[in-house]
Amino acid sequence: MSVFRISNPFYKKQITHKMEMQKLTLFLCLITLSLLVKSQTVLEADGPGNTYELINSVLAPGYTAVENPECVHPEFGRHIAEIWDNDLQKYVFVFYIHVTPDNDRCINFDRQRVEIKTYEPSPENLKGKLGETVVYKWQFKLPDGFQPSASFTHIHQVKAVNGDDDDPVFVLTARKGNPDKLELNYYESSDQAQVKLTSADLSLFKGKWVEATERIKIDSTDGSYSINIQDSQTGNIIMSYSNSKLRTIRPDNDFIRPKWGIYRSLLNSSDLRDEAVRFSYFSIAEEISTDVNTNTYSNSENFNINQNFTNKEIIINYELSENNIINLSCKNLNGQTVRKFINYEHQQNGNHKFIIKNCGLPPGIYILILQTDYKTYSKKIYI
């Protein structure tokens, strides 16, 4: 029997009193600010194999959300894999990049990339549009000895779509220096030079898991932006920036979108080495405000799958923290919906069980998707 679990992605080996107090403080701050999550999509690794299909099923169902150099480096295989991480005691994504022969999709040869993204074909709730507030969260680990370019080594970008969209709006980039730094840079427009908003010593990020939370109020004149990156083990903040008045989308853009991975310059390739950067999870959420500040809100649904291959049963357990509308469906690896098990059904808060017996699908790997009012969960199943 295989057990697949999606849970709140906190660092699991270090549960200390300090971290519990930080969680409580954050919870009280959320109540004070009267913020609710309108929607949230979480992408987590769930074991080796069909990694691109899993990523696509969450970020761009039926399309390709992965940018890779396999056109020039097919013998290596896929440049994103899922491996077991001993620190987190879970499967994580690992992004591979090689100084040679990798390039930028056989389009640009002075740079190279392996990134995942949302873009035009992605679901609407994964696009940041004017008037919305989006929150991007992810956990990542740079390897010991990580060597950045003196030009740029992007690990996260917030890109604009259509209109003035040549340069990203925000970017986290590692840069060679004395010492090496992780920089947060901002482009108000593509024809203006980048502005360095803040930076931190890159050594604070190497060889350890860190968790980033980025919040963007989207407006072409009166937006706001904040980011906090904390050490997952100690809870210490190692990079922080906030600006309450900033253009976060350009006037002619349709929406903004996130990208994660490795995108680096090859102009000084002697400074570089082959790298493997790990990502534990990616979360894209939209916040809405409310005038009601007396109700507590917990977005802690659990989604567990147990497969009984002998009886050909798939047992799904999930917990709803409040009343919800539930949709449970199954997609093939091409992103096509092949079964609908629960079709937007109103369900009460509490624990729920759903058993799928002899679903009638051909043998293979599928993506089971549970949607609530606030989250979308995806996990691979084996028929």
* CATH number, residue 203: 2.60.120.200
Per-residue DSSP letter, 245: E
Indicate whether 296 belongs to any domain. no
Residues 23 and 135 reside in one and the same domain: yes
Q: Could you tell me the two tokens for 207? A: 């060889």
Q: Which residues of 129-165 are buried (b: 16+ CB within 10 A; e: fewer)?
A: eeebbbbbbbbbbbeeebbbbebbbbbbbbbbbeebb
* Residues of the domain holding 173: 8-289
pLDDT score, position 175: 97
Vertex 36, ends 31 and 39: CA angle to 5°? 155
Give the Å distances, CA to CA, from 160 to 131, 170, 247, 263: 15, 10, 12, 17
CATH code, 369 = 2.60.40.3080
Collapse the DSSP code of 186 into the 3-class scheme (helix H, G, I; strand E, B; otherwise coil) and give the result.
Answer: strand
For 317, list phi and psi in degrees, rounded to 5.
-115, 135
Give the residues of the chain that fall short of pLDDT 50. Answer: 1-35, 289-300
pLDDT digits (tens, 9 = 90+) for 10-39: 444 443 444 444 444 444 443 333 345 567
Last residue of some domain: 238, 257, 289? 289
pLDDT score, position 209: 98
Residues 276 and 366 reside in one and the same domain: no
Indicate whether 187 belongs to any domain. yes
Last residue of some domain: 228, 258, 289? 289
pLDDT score, position 38: 64
Residue 188 burial by CB count (10 A; 0-12/13-18/19+): exposed, middle or buried?
middle
The total of structural domains in the chain comes to 2
Residues 354 and 211 reside in one and the same domain: no
